[in-house]
């Protein structure tokens, strides 16, 4: 398949700070997840692809054409920025109409497209409310709507799930997945692995401005699974639970947290651990208040992989 | 002109029109416009007070057109158009960067020059309308007894035209300033009430380095009266040259703003 986005030795510095270093890759149609902890260089990468930033070294092309100041290319590109920024005094409808005007559609087509996009993101009922009064989730969906309204071939979404509640996330994920058909290329950045996992299997891992890994999501999943993992369990009888866990070979150590009734278990096999956990609760009649994974995030995985 | 060039020009003009429409309709409903509208009608209030004072006092009234002429220079030319041009001109670029909405514009199929010129044109039109409303109302209030003297309307037209040229020129300059620097308002205040107010009173050619020199050159020089000091030391340029210079300054600064906006990268602050 012909790549839609191609970069060669793409590098960017902000003064002495490295934003992106020597990134050469090709992105094909379909959904590609750009994954990395905060400050890894995801937004820099997307802004370079969009020509919003100038690379210090290297080149970036979309469908074989250089992007910077090549504004005609934007007829085919939709961008949902990371920042929660709008022309706040406008209504959702005015915002959509105004931005669609910049695509030079006729007035009737602008209205049709604005209506369709707002219907897709389920904001049509609220189209006449000013954006300032929208909830975070609505604003996020409005950003998505302006990115898809002109029916672009390439959609670039920078942290589209940031600040959304679980229901809002599900809605946006469903929207993104619904848009992958018809040969579209969708690039989504996130710092949360399960979010990307819910949308695509194809990922690019960025860490400290470099491409850390690229390929199938199972690869990163495997890395996470072998990564020693801490689970915090707040329950009615942490001592009883600790005595049982200590006998298991997949448990590396057990500690009691400073928070009363909380047990910290370090395991090197998450699947086995979570497989046995419910049966222990039932068998010893333990009431569970909370189970959390304090290091179930990408930063922990990256720190582990780079040997910190 | 080749077909391709013509196509490009028509695409650019279309982009310009689309950007203009977007920002004109957004700008006219904005809170900023409401605030500046209130400031813009203050001279009308002043005119009303002057007129009422004349009505109730026993002194011989001063001619309305005389007060109007001085008001045009003292309030509009030396103060109001500078403030309007400063706040609207610098915001052409800086409000997009500070509000982080710039990417909505720069990821559309419109050239960056069309964004700058279209938004500049929208804002300049809005402040010209706003100023003209204030000027016309002030004129009507101050000349309420001479409304049938049609020769006065020539003066009104001339003043509205000069103020519009001033707004056009200053807004272009401040658009450039807003594109190049972050603390543009501070610089703009120093320029407006420092440079422009001082340089114009320098003798010889030095005063030609102030935009206001060319604007004042288009107005008659009052020889006497309370505000005649505002034209003090003015060595006017010819009307034609002044108009040429005003358009030249506008074109140069708009061109520079477009170049800079296309070349510079804007990084949003968290």
Binning pLDDT at 50, 70 and 90, where does residue B266 land?
confident
Cβ pair B88, B126 in contact under 8 A: yes
CATH number for A264: 3.30.70.100
pLDDT(B231) > 70? no
Per-position DSSP letters for A29-89, written without gaps between them:
SEEEEEE--TTSSHHHHHHHHTTSS--SEEEEEETTEE-TT-GGGGGGEEEE-SS----TT
Domain count, chain A: 2
Same domain, A123 and A269: no
Q: Would you say the C-alpha torsion A118, A124, A129, A132 has a positive or negative sign?
A: negative
Q: Which residue has the higher pLDDT, A9 or B7?
A: A9
- Residues β-bridged to residue B13: none
Sign, CA torsion B33/B110/A93/B22: positive
What pLDDT score does A304 carry?
63
Task: Choose the final residue of a domain: A223, A246, A274.
Answer: A223
Q: Rounded to 10 degrees, what is the CA torsion of B195, B200, B203, B207?
A: 80
Per-residue confidence in pLDDT tens, chain A, 308 aa: 778 999 999 999 988 889 999 999 999 999 999 988 888 899 999 999 999 999 999 999 999 998 888 888 999 999 999 999 999 899 999 999 999 999 999 999 999 999 999 999 899 999 999 999 999 889 999 999 999 999 999 999 999 988 777 788 888 888 888 877 677 999 999 888 778 888 888 989 898 899 888 888 777 767 666 677 788 898 888 999 999 888 888 898 999 888 788 899 988 887 788 888 888 889 889 888 888 776 655 666 666 666 55
ipTM value, please give it. Answer: 0.87
Residue A251 sits in the same domain as residue A110: no
pLDDT in tens, A44-81: 999 999 999 999 999 999 999 988 888 889 999 999 99
pLDDT (tens digit per residue) in B123-181: 999 999 999 999 999 999 999 888 888 889 999 999 999 999 999 999 999 999 999 99
CATH number at residue A87: 3.40.50.300
C-beta atoms of A71 and B109 within 8 A: yes
Shortest alpha-carbon distance between residue B124 and chain A (Å): 19
Beta A185-190 vs A202-207: how paired, if at all? unpaired
Q: Rounded mean pLDDT of chain B?
A: 90
Torsion of CA A135, A140, A143, A147, to 10 degrees: -150
pLDDT band at B224 (very low <50, low <70, confident <90, very high): low
* pLDDT of B215 above 60: yes
DSSP of B141-158, one letter per residue? HHTGGGTT-THHHHHHHH
Same domain, A232 and A152: no
Q: What is the pLDDT of residue A300?
A: 65
A101 and A249 inside one domain: no
Three-state SS across A166-191?
HHHHHHHHHHHHHCCCCCCEEEEEEC
**Whether residue A276 sits in one domain with residue A164:** no
Number of Cβ pairs closer than 8 Å across A and B? 72
Q: Which of B4, B32, B107, B117 to mutate to test the interface with A (most CBs of A within 10 A)?
A: B107
Domain termination site, one of A167, A201, A223: A223
Of B22, B109, B111, the CB nearest to A98: B22
What local confidence, expressed as pLDDT, does residue A213 receive? 82
Considering only CB atoms, A101 lies closest to which of B18, B29, B112, namely: B18
**Same domain for A140 and A92:** yes
Whole-number Cα distances in Å, A255 to A259, A291, A297, B44: 11, 15, 21, 77
For residue A155, the surrounding DSSP H or E stretch is strand A154-158
User: Same domain, yes or no, for A34 and A94?
Assistant: yes
Contact B30 A89 (CB under 8 A): yes
Instruction: State yes or no: pLDDT of B60 exceeds 80.
Output: no
Q: Residue A220: what are its φ and ψ, rounded to 5°?
A: -70, -35
Question: A235 and A251: one domain?
Answer: yes
Q: Chain A: residue nearest B114 by CA?
A: A102
Answer yes or no: do A296 and A199 share one domain: no
Closest-CA residue of B relative to A86 is B101
Tokens 């670029």 correspond to B93
Select the residue of B21, B100, B103 nearest A79 (Cβ to Cβ): B103
Rounded to whole angstroms, the Cα distance separating A261 from A51 reads 53
* CB-CB contact of A11 with A24 (8 Å): no
Distance (Å, whole) CA A208 – CA A42: 10
- pLDDT of A101: 94
Any B CB within 8 A of A48 CB: no
pLDDT tens digits for range B68-119:
988 898 899 999 999 999 999 999 999 999 999 999 999 999 999 999 999 9
Calculate the dihedral angle through the C-alpha atoms of B241, B242, B248, B249, rounding to the nearest 10 degrees: 150
pLDDT of residue A204: 92
Structural domain span for residue A182: 5-223
pLDDT given for residue A219 in this prediction: 73
Does A136 share its domain with A263? no
Both A185 and A293 in a single domain?
no
What's the CA gap between A58 and A71, in Å, rounded? 20
Residue A6's CB is within 10 A of a number of other CB atoms, namely 18
To test the contact with chain B by mutation, choose from A79, A101, A113, A131 the residue with the greatest count of B C-beta atoms within 10 A, namely A101
Angle (CA) A157-A135-A122 rounded to 5° is 65
Contact criterion met (CB < 8 Å) for A103 and B107: no
- Do A66 and A205 have their domain in common? yes
Name the domain boundary from A181, A205, A223: A223
């Amino acid at each position: 398949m012909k790549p839609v986005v191609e970069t060669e030795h793409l590098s960017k510095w902000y003064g002495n700070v490295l934003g992106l270093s020597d990134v050469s890759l090709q992105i094909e149609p379909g959904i590609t997840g750009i994954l990395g902890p905060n400050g890894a260089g995801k937004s820099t990468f997307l802004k370079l692809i969009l020509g919003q930033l100038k690379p210090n070294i290297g080149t970036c092309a979309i469908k074989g054409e250089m992007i910077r100041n090549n504004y005609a290319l934007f007829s085919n590109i939709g961008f949902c920025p990371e920042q929660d920024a709008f022309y706040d005094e406008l209504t959702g409808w005015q915002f959509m109409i105004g931005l669609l005007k910049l695509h030079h559609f006729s007035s009737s087509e602008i209205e049709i497209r604005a209506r369709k996009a707002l219907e897709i993101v389920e904001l049509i009922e609220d189209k006449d409310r000013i954006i300032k009064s929208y909830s975070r989730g609505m604003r996020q969906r409005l950003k998505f709507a302006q990115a898809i309204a002109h029916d672009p071939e390439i959609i670039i979404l920078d942290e589209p799930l940031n600040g959304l509640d679980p229901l809002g996330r599900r809605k946006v994920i469903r929207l993104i997945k619904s848009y992958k058909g018809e040969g579209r290329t969708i690039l989504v950045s996130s710092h949360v692995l399960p979010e990307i996992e819910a949308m695509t299997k194809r990922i690019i891992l960025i860490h400290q401005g470099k491409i850390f890994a690229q390929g199938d999501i199972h690869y990163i999943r495997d890395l996470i699974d072998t990564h020693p993992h801490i689970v915090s369990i707040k329950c009615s009888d942490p001592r009883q639970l600790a005595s049982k866990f200590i006998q298991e070979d997949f448990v590396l150590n057990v500690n009691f947290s400073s928070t009363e009734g909380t047990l910290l278990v370090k395991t090197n096999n998450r699947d086995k651990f979570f497989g046995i956990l419910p049966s222990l609760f039932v068998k010893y009649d333990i009431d569970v208040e909370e189970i959390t994974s304090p290091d179930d995030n990408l930063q922990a995985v990256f720190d582990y992989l780079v040997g910190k | 002109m080749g077909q391709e060039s013509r196509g490009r020009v028509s695409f650019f003009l279309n982009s310009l029109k689309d950007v203009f429409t977007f920002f004109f309709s957004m700008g006219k409903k904005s809170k900023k416009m409401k605030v500046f509208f209130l400031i813009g009608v203050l001279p009308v209030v002043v005119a009303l007070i002057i007129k009422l004072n004349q009505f109730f006092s026993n002194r011989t009234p001063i001619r309305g057109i005389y007060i109007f002429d001085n008001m045009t220079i003292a309030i509009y030319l030396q103060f109001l158009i500078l403030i309007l041009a400063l706040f609207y001109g610098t915001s052409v670029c800086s409000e997009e960067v500070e509000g982080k909405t710039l990417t909505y514009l720069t990821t559309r199929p419109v050239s960056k020059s069309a964004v700058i010129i279209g938004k500049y044109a929208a804002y300049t039109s809005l402040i010209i309308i706003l100023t003209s409303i204030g000027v016309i109302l002030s004129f009507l209030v101050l000349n309420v007894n001479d409304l049938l003297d049609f020769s006065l309307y020539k003066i009104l037209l001339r003043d509205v035209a000069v103020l519009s040229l001033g707004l056009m020129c200053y807004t272009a300059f401040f658009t450039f300033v807003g594109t190049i620097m972050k603390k543009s308002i501070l610089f703009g205040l120093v320029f407006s009430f420092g440079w422009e107010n001082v340089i114009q009173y320098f003798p010889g050619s030095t005063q030609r380095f102030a935009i206001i020199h060319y604007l004042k050159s288009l107005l008659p020089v009052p020889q006497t009266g309370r505000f005649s000091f505002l034209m003090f030391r003015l060595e006017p340029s010819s009307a034609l040259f002044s108009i040429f210079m005003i358009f030249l300054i506008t074109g140069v600064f708009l061109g520079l703003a477009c170049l800079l906006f296309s070349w510079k990268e804007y990084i949003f602050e968290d």
